[in-house]
Amino acid sequence: MAEKTFYVLSDSVGETAELLAKAALSQFLNVDMKIQRIPYVDDEATMVDAFHLAKENDGIIAYTLVKPDFRVKMLELSQQFNVVAIDVLGPLLKQLESHLNEPPTLQPGLVHKLDEDYYKRVEAIEFAVKYDDGRDAKGILKADLVLIGVSRTSKTPLSQFLAHKRLKVANVPIVPEVEPPEELFQVSPEKCIGLKISSEKLNHIRTERLKALGLDGTANYAKEERILQEIDYFNKVVDQIGCDTIDVSNKAVEETANVILRKLKM
């Protein structure tokens, strides 16, 4: 038997109808039915094509169309082709209109309308990924904020957290054997924050990290002598830059982020 198809039509991207279709189908454990999304439905021809497909493939249709005339046409086509078509959005709009005593705007895609704030957040997240862990020093000069610290001071998760606050964050690991990029000394000290951590806490974090990777917890990476060497070098770099520091020894990422946001008066 050919696999049945569940067609979801929408005048926008169709994500809502597809999620509902998946949720409904998940309750039928012995049914093998694929979902095919048909987005941006804006003419009768697309609807007719969808019904032809559903008829040929023994499928059904669910749709989220906000325009009343489109929904009426879907009902007519359902009867004409003898194909089940489920209006997901129409009854809810009707009930809300009655309860709120206010007509809907009937504008497709409002739930996915992208505003300026959304774009800034996405741009900041992409920036944090691109300029993570010092992989491209050019990002230092473009960043709203630069985080520096030795390994395992939560630079990456903190950069991502702040990106959701629309901050473009670059982070740079400080390692004794690697000269910091010259761009780090060209930015304003006010745009740079050093992440301090106690040697005891860092030793614990690194030891657990090694164990999680199935490695020897006594490796040089977690040794007290090595850690003290890194922290000493970090302090020298911080002094050279002249930037503020935050002790992250006993802080969750969210706590550190809030301290930074207060510093930046955001």
> Any known ligand binding at 207?
no
The answer to whether 159 is annotated as binding is no
Burial label for 11, CB within 10 Å (0-12, 13-18, 19+), is: buried
Specify which residues 245 forms β-bridges with. Answer: 194
155 is known to lie in a ligand binding site: yes
Task: Consult the annotation and say whether 156 binds a ligand.
Answer: yes
What the block records as the tokens of 255 is 């706590």
AA identity, residue 21: A
CA gap 144, 26 in Å, rounded: 45
Number of C-beta neighbours around residue 256 at 10 A: 22
Closest to 251 in 3D by CA, of 180, 195, 185: 195
Q: 37 a known binding residue?
A: no
Q: How far apart are the first and last CA of the chain?
A: 60
On whether 10 is known to bind a ligand per the annotation, the reply is no
**Alpha-carbon torsion (138, 140, 144, 149), positive or negative:** positive
Other beta carbons within 10 Å of 205? 18
Determine if residue 98 is left, alpha or beta; phi over 0 gives left, psi from -120 to 50 gives alpha, anything else beta: alpha
Q: What residues are designated binding site?
A: 149-156
Residues at the binding site for ADP are 149-156
